[in-house]
Chain A
Amino acid sequence: MEVCSPEVSSYSHQKLRSLRAQLSFLPRADGSCALEQGNTVIWCGINGPGNVSSSKRLSDRLVIEVLYKQPHGLTDSVKINRLLNTALKYTIDHVHYPRVALNVTLQLLQKDGCEAAAALNAACLAALDLGIIMNGMFCGITIAVSQGNLILDPVFAQCSSADTIYTFAFHSNENESTRMIACDTDGIFDYSTFEAARALAKQASADVFIFYREILQRKLSVNIWK
């Protein structure tokens, strides 16, 4: 008969899973990235800016076509496509490229949770490898809530048993601070939980942006034109 008072969970130490990436590994793609986030493996290839048919052509800006593919071909991926489209359109300077198209293709090879976040990270690294004009970087962070605990970068078993799953896309620029540009949620949650998850994800995105900087420094460390 008594109503329980709202309890507060304890603090827990969280950590991103190990990120591994390799750039410029596909011979025919202009920009490519293979990303391993824990056991999740995803490949991204970007072609373009290139030719586009007259029906799809836009005279004032770039056309971005995002294609996300699962190992089983039939499953739809509308939500991940929408996240990727939003992040890419926000980040790529599309006014500089009128009347051309950019083909972004992502292929999920192995699934172990956080597919959307891994897809966002792979797409950003492939765009950086491509060399297109961008106004910043973006990354994806996934947080699961299970029995009152925030789990950063959950594995597949934790995703299956979680009450709520948040996927955030953060944008970082040298002028502005890190901000959230896209978000996808699955489940029922309280707004204070959402704020706490976003704060934790924002802290974790700093590690991903440092990783981007390190991998590009390593790639450009040898001057091949000398």
Chain B
Amino acid sequence: MEVQRELSNGKQVIPITDLGVDQLTYFQRQLDQEITFLTESLKMYIPAKIADPNNHLIEIGTGYFVEMSTEKAADYFRRKQNFLKKQMEVIEEALPEKYRARNTIIDNLQKKINEYCSQWGSSGFWMRIEPLSNCERAFFLSSFKQNVRIDGRKCDEFREVKVIVGSELGSCLVMLGETKVSAQVSCSLVEPSTTRGNMGVVEVQVDMSPMASPDYEDGRLGSKGLELMRILELLYRNCGVIDLESLCLRTFKQVWQIRIDVHVLASDGSLVDCACIASLTALAHFRRPDVSVLPDSIIIHGNDEKIPISLNIYHMPICVTFGITSDGQNIIDPTDKEEQCLRGSLIVATNKRHEICALHQSGNFLLNEQLIVQCVDRAIQRATDVTELIYSVIADDNLKRSNRQQVNGFSELISLNVLTSHQCEPNELIAPAIKIDALGNIPSIEEYIKASDNQMQIDSDSRIVEQKNDEDVELMEQVQSITSLEESKKQENKNPRDLEEVDELLQSIEEEFGNSID
């Protein structure tokens, strides 16, 4: 019987979850109207007095009034009351069903809206969305089939890599096409965890700056930032890049913590490649201060006392991003627009010794074994080239520092050949004279630490740095030679007159040395 009714009425059963956002919105509005009709149709009444107790003018509907006696009016209202009771029973049955349907539709509508918002990769607020149009997508996909890309590359070619190390030890800036990432490595002494007391700690901090893209927000990583952070942590903690046991000073008490700050400055695809090269170069460039471990204390020497020590780096895993299209074609080093056209990406981390360090797949697609083998072979070639580039940059910087040449670091980055750059040649000004306060004449006891030119200081904010002069160097050399002479003469036990003369010379030189310090 029910089947026949359905067939005769022509009804169809459609689940609510399959409806779109527009249809759900329409149904919600329709149900709201029905609910307001059912609930607000009851009218209001006001108290009043009866003028004539025997006769009444009764409204029977649609503007008609009939004069009745009291008995007839009471009978009429009794019959109307029974009719209204039946109607109220019908409404009370229908209203909960309407409310239940409305709540179901609202829930599904909210789910649809949340899915729609999550597609744009933002959990609420973005400054500007740059969507990819359908024409652009079709154009990109057709260019992939013809093995030609928008910027002139083929599908298996990389963009140009520029690696620049800064004047401060442990700083690096890498430009991969238009993607720019800077990395800074710093160190501090911490207490290790209870499980691994003999190993140092590596901490990775990724900063997705709003400078890189309008989609990024400060303080939040987003999906790209989270993926980048996980891959970098996987490489530096689990792949054995750094010798962590050499960072231990006292077991279970004090170890070095190496902190890597990665700042994304411009984002145009292949963030993982660029960030990986930047952090590896910064680690190779970094030097920690020398430490003397005494039985009851640890002395950390400054840069002027002892030369800082570089880290023990076992190998350098280089990441390569392979974009995968729906047809299974791989696009090497995709840009940001190309990444939006692709189905997903495969990130392969290898080193120059042909070892696979990490494989990461993002997106939802199937990979076959042949494609993975192709990607790994290409990544191994890339790792060899990039590792040679990093070593050459570090060697060049070490050569400059050892020859006491001026290390420009990130200066001289701006080329004056383009129209948007310029250089200022300031005029010479005369500084006016100022009064010297009388209290300033009292000499304060301060520590003077001598540092040579172009030598960077670690923790030098709390110290007063004074440039070394040639005269001071000569004076120190003379003092050292005279003290060595005095020791040799003491061994020979010569005349006391000569000893007195030597003492007078030392005192005069010390006085001159003290004057030069002041």
Contact = CB atoms under 8 A, between A and B. Distances in A.
A, B assembled together: yes
Interface of A: 3-4, 6-29, 32, 34, 36, 38-39, 41, 43-45, 47-48, 50-53, 67, 69, 71-73, 101, 103, 105, 107, 109-112, 145, 147-152, 157, 160-161, 163, 190, 192-193, 196, 199-200, 203-204, 207-208, 210-211, 214-215, 218-219, 221-222
Most buried by B among A4, A10, A38, A109: A109
A18 B420 CA distance: 17
Contacts of B22: none
A52 B411 contact: no
A36 B420 contact: no
B437 to A, nearest CB: 6
Nearest to B442: A4
Interface string B424-465: 111111111111111011000000000000000000110111
A28 to B, nearest CB: 5
Interface string B406-428: 00111111111011111111111
**What are the nearest 5 A-B pairs in CB distance?**
A45-B211, A19-B424, A16-B426, A50-B127, A215-B422
B200 interface: no
Interface string B451-484: 0000000001101111100000000000000000
Contacts of A47: 127-128, 210-211, 214
Nearest to A46: B211
A41 B413 contact: yes
A36 B429 contact: no
Contact of B420 (A24, A72, A161, A196): A24
Most buried by B among A9, A72, A145: A72
B210 A45 contact: yes
Contacts of A221: 419
Contact of B182 (A6, A20, A34, A107): A107
Nearest to A8: B433
B351 interface: no
A67 B218 contact: yes
Nearest to A14: B431
Contacts, number: 230
Contact of B210 (A7, A11, A67, A161): A67
A215 B126 contact: no
Taking chain B's interface residues, is the majority helix, strand, or loop, or is none over half, making it mixed?
Answer: loop
A157 B467 contact: yes
B352 interface: no
A16 B187 CA distance: 34
Given A21-B421, A39-B167, A161-B465, A73 B413 contact: no
B260 to A, nearest CB: 10
A207 to B, nearest CB: 4
Most buried by A among B167, B186, B209: B209
A11 B425 contact: no
Given A29-B211, A109-B166, A192 B127 contact: no
B345 interface: no
B432 A207 contact: no
A18 B424 contact: yes
B436 A6 contact: yes
A15 B213 CA distance: 37
A192 B432 CA distance: 11
A96 B409 CA distance: 41
B248 interface: no
A41 to B, nearest CB: 4
B440 A148 contact: yes
Contacts of A103: 127, 210, 214
A154 to B, nearest CB: 12
Interface stretch (B9-17, B50-58, B229-237, B261-269): B261-269
A3 to B, nearest CB: 7
B124 interface: yes
